[in-house]
Amino acid sequence: MTQQIAPYGSWKSPITADLVVAGSTPLGSICLDGTDIYWLEGRPQEGGRYVVMKHTPGGVQVITPEGYNVRTRVHEYGGGAFTVQQGVVYFVNFADQCLYRQRPGAAPEVVTPEGAYRYADGIVLADGRFLCVREDHTNPAQEAVNALVILNLDGPDSGTVIASGYDFYSTPRLSPDGRQLAWLCWNHPNMPWDGTELWLADLTPHGLANGRCIAGGLQESIFQPEWGPDGALYYVSDNSGWWNLYRRQQGHTRALHPMSAEFGRPQWAFGMTTYGFADAETIICSYTEDGRWFLGALHVSNGCFTSIQIPYDTINAIQVMPDYAVLNVDAATLPQAIVRLNLKSLRSEVLRAGSTLQVDPGYLSEPKAIEFPTSNGRTAHAIYYPPHNKDFRAPEGEKPPLLVLSHGGPTGVSAIRLSYSVQFWTSRGFGVLDVNYGGSTGYGRAYRERLNGQWGIVDVEDCINGARYLVAKGLADDGRLAIRGGSAGGYTTLAALTFHNVFKAGASYFGVSDAEALARDTHKFESRYLDTLIGPYPERRDLYIARSPIHAAHQLNCPLILFQGLEDKVVPPSQSELMYQAIKAKGIPVAYIAYAEEQHGFRRAENIKHSLEAELYFYSRVFGFDLAEPIAPIQIDNL
């Protein structure tokens, strides 16, 4: 078939905004109950609610009835919102943040009183009680109080505190004999990837006894403590500079298989997993190297490590049972899926795909992990998606516009996956560079710490140098470079546009424009995050002002579109509104779109669709290309 000749950006694509929304069913954490498999699944078309799903021999069934949304607000980012024990599902409902118990075939019953409490990361004890993390918002004039509590489920009970005094708690894990409890805790200003402590205590009918810290500290991050079938305590630590697996038994600790790879990830949410036990001798573990995730089998006694080949590039979560591993996975050209892997035959079975859409591979851009030179003689990382559409090619000599993505966190990472929201751009003739700037996880602690004290500098320089690298390679038009990002990525976007003149347009999704305002007005989990990223506040208020785009809006000289959820508690709407007003007053083309009933990150299908189309329309106007199909126009001031 002869390709049509059309300018980049104006290619007609079957990957529409409707397809992006319809093809995106978020799949979350996995829970095993014997051989039964449960997982969390998003419903963008149902107001963004989440439901518990169960795999049965007859197929897949929805467990959570209408009217319930399985999502906790502990740390605002949630996670660990449900668990299952002997067919009984325990979950947190988003609307009231109460804990519910749902017996097989019955309606959910509330087991905690309504109020100012939030719950997460729970386990069911042998006596039927429930142990979990609780976040107490009783006193709105003070910071929320986090603790480990035990709930009696026979009547409304807000919990009895068994561990308190630290700013944060997570990952309570009970030993196989039920006699010991391990957990993680940490204090401000640390985030869990900076430094955590691993504690161990005896669990008695009256609470905890003989509690002691056994690993971790201010400069060591512990991740996912788990008890093995052998009664030993396992965990991931970055003490070597890389998140590796360790085993502790009878007071002795040893590294199981040291390597320059990450077996952990930044604990933004509860319930994150990278390994599990097939038996007392075998750990099935996932790890990341150079932007891609892998699966392996680790023999506990002798440290023998065997790679397991699977047709996926990213492993988001893992749970293990004898003979099987259940994975939440992504791949470059396959949709996200819940997969059951037979550990003997190594055959995988898709239990649930995040999309049933069949898109011709001729419209899909295959990503490539790249490295490029950046400031101070260093190397940075990114994932590059070239423009690709089997039906079109650009006029001879034309170079494509480039969309640089700056991920959130900023201690996050962009992984290789089939993202229709990325393919939306590449199939229309945009190149996309998803930058894992210094500070991103997956490349060791030293790379992660590049951003300490340098937020707004290192991340911005890496995004700029990534764009320049592709321009120098002839893969991008330096006159049509755009940058976009959400949350912390929105801050990187705004800082790049304000303090530099490389990019010609940008899109900020609920981005930080005033770092000082963020330091004063954000939720507990991140309230001291900027101490590490910028400096202690208010002692270094000068740095906050110097690095805040809102105070240098007069330097911004290119078009910008801003998107914001009006119920965002992480980045308040005032951040976007102030930036919009400042740019509008300067006479630069700018658009501001706000969505009611959206929090930090858009979950409603209609808003995801509208924002994507609005951003494309915006670029078509400021970069001067025709749209292949009509899109509802948006108000762009000063255009």
CATH of the domain at 586: 3.40.50.1820
Residues 127 and 268 in one domain: yes
Query: Strands of 379-385's sheet, edge to edge?
Result: 368-373, 379-385, 431-436, 402-406, 481-486, 505-509, 560-565, 590-595
Domain assignment present for 630: no
Asked if residues 354 and 336 have their Cβ atoms less than 8 Å apart, the reply is yes
pLDDT score of 23: 66
Q: Which of 33-37, 89-93, 596-600 has the lowest mean pLDDT?
A: 596-600
Residues 205 and 329 in one domain: no
Domain assignment present for 114: yes
The last residue of a domain, from among 354, 384, 418 = 354
pLDDT in tens, 281-324: 999 999 999 889 999 999 999 889 999 999 999 999 999 999 99
Residues 239 and 289 in one domain: no
- Please report, as a single letter, which amino acid is at residue 598: E
pLDDT in tens, 411-429: 989 999 999 999 999 999 9
Domain assignment present for 634: no
Place of tokens 């963008």: 44
Give Dmax over CA atoms of the chain in angstroms: 77
Band of residue 156 on the pLDDT scale cut at 50, 70, 90: confident
Residues 440 and 582 in one domain: yes
- Give CA 588 to chain center in angstroms: 33
pLDDT above 70 for 83: yes
Place of tokens 């790879």: 261
pLDDT in tens, 122-147: 999 999 999 999 999 999 999 999 99
Residues 308 and 424 in one domain: no
Residues 168 and 305 in one domain: no
Domain assignment present for 201: yes
Q: How far apart are CA 3 and CA 106, in angstroms?
A: 57
pLDDT in tens, 585-633: 999 999 999 999 898 888 888 999 999 999 999 999 999 999 999 999 9
Residue 291 token pair = 């932007």
Place of tokens 């924002």: 611
- Burial label for 155, CB within 10 Å (0-12, 13-18, 19+), is exposed
Residue 41, CB half-sphere, CA atoms under 13 Å: how many? 27
How confident is the model over 59-73, as a mean pLDDT? Answer: 96
Domain assignment present for 363: no
Count of domains observed in the chain: 3
Give me the torsion for CA of 493, 499, 504, 507, rounded to 10°: 20
DSSP 366: P
Residues 141 and 207 in one domain: yes
Q: How far apart are CA 207 and CA 164, in angstroms?
A: 12
Q: What is the CB neighbour count within 10 angstroms for residue 290? A: 11
How confident is the model over 333-361, as a mean pLDDT? Answer: 94
Asked if residues 246 and 252 have their Cβ atoms less than 8 Å apart, the reply is no
Q: Of all helices (H) and strands (E), which one includes residue 339? A: strand 337-342
Domain assignment present for 22: no
Residues 448 and 303 in one domain: no
Q: How far apart are CA 369 and CA 387, in angstroms?
A: 15
pLDDT score of 45: 80
pLDDT above 80 for 155: no
pLDDT above 70 for 372: yes
Q: How far apart are CA 329 and CA 312, in angstroms?
A: 6
- Please report, as a single letter, which amino acid is at residue 236: V
The last residue of a domain, from among 274, 296, 311 = 274
In three-state secondary structure terms, 27 is strand
pLDDT above 70 for 1: no
Q: What is the CATH number of the domain that holds 84?
A: 2.130.10.10
pLDDT in tens, 532-549: 999 999 999 999 999 999
The last residue of a domain, from among 291, 322, 354 = 354
- Among residues 188, 190, 175, the alpha carbon closest in space to that of 222 is found at 190
pLDDT in tens, 474-505: 999 999 999 999 988 999 999 999 999 999 99
Q: Of all helices (H) and strands (E), which one includes residue 582? A: helix 573-586
Residues 535 and 572 in one domain: yes
Q: How far apart are CA 226 and CA 32, in angstroms?
A: 15
Residue 262 token pair = 């990450």
Domain that holds residue 336: 275-354
Place of tokens 């409603």: 604
Residues 488 and 615 in one domain: yes
How confident is the model over 3-22, as a mean pLDDT? Answer: 94
pLDDT above 80 for 24: no
Domain assignment present for 515: yes
Query: Percent of the chain, pLDDT > 90?
Result: 87
Q: How far apart are CA 519 and CA 524, in angstroms?
A: 10
pLDDT score of 22: 79
- Among residues 253, 305, 311, the alpha carbon closest in space to that of 282 is found at 305
Mean pLDDT of the chain: 95
Q: Which whole-number Å values give the CA distances from 120 to 37, 48, 70, in the listed order?
A: 20, 19, 11
Domain assignment present for 516: yes
Residues 383 and 456 in one domain: yes
pLDDT score of 328: 98
How confident is the model over 249-254, as a mean pLDDT? Answer: 93
Q: How far apart are CA 396 and CA 5, in angstroms?
A: 9
DSSP string, 263-293: S----SSBT--SEEEEETTEEEEEEEETTEE
Asked if residues 605 and 21 have their Cβ atoms less than 8 Å apart, the reply is yes
Residues 129 and 181 in one domain: yes
Q: How far apart are CA 560 and CA 41, in angstroms?
A: 34
Asked if residues 172 and 183 have their Cβ atoms less than 8 Å apart, the reply is yes
Q: How far apart are CA 112 and CA 6, in angstroms?
A: 60
